[in-house]
Amino acid sequence: MNARVPCVGDRASRPLRKPSRGLMKPVFAVLLLCAAAPGAVLASLPVPTHLISTDTPRIEDPDSLVHRYLQAVDRGELEIFGQTLDRSMIVPTRVEYVYELSSRATRIKIHSNLKQPLPVPGQPDCRILGVSAVMEDGHIIETESHVWMKP
C-alpha cells in the first residue's frame, strides 16, 4: 500500500503508517486463551476408564413385564389417536430391553399386534396393525403405532 498523507509543516507528503502490531499481539493472545480455556477445563474433568459398566444390567422376567403391561392397559394407559385400547384388542409379541450407556437406565419396550386393524384418522388407505409401549415404573409413558398402507 503506497498511500501518502500530507504533512502539516512541510509540503512533502509521507507514507501512511500501518496499524501498530503492538496492539494486535495482546488481542490475539486473549482470543487464543479464550479458545483454549474450554478445552483445558474439559480435559481436567475425570473420564471413566470404561464406558460400559462391568455390573450386569438388571433384566427382569419378560412374563412379569407383560403382566405389568397388561395391568397398565387395564388402567386405560394404552391410547392411540385418542382411542383407548383394552386387553382384548392386543396380543403382546415381544419385549425389548434397551440399556442407555449415558444414564445407566434400562428402557423396556413391549410390542403388541392388534387382533383387528384400526383405521388411522384422516387416512382412509392406512391401518394400524400394531403398537409399542415404553414402560417405566409399571406405567406406560410412551406409545407408538405401527401403520401400514392397504394393498
Better-predicted residue by pLDDT, 3 or 80? 80
Q: CA nearest 113: which of 96, 95, 83, 93?
A: 93
For 45-86, the pLDDT digits (tens) are 555 555 555 566 567 788 999 999 999 999 999 999 999 999
Q: Is the dihedral of CA 78, 81, 85, 91 positive or negative?
A: negative
Q: What is the pLDDT of residue 19?
A: 56
pTM for the predicted model, two decimal places: 0.60
Q: Where are the domains of the chain?
A: 62-149
pLDDT band (50, 70, 90) for residue 42 = low
Q: How crowded is the C-beta side of 12, counted as CA atoms within 13 Å?
A: 2
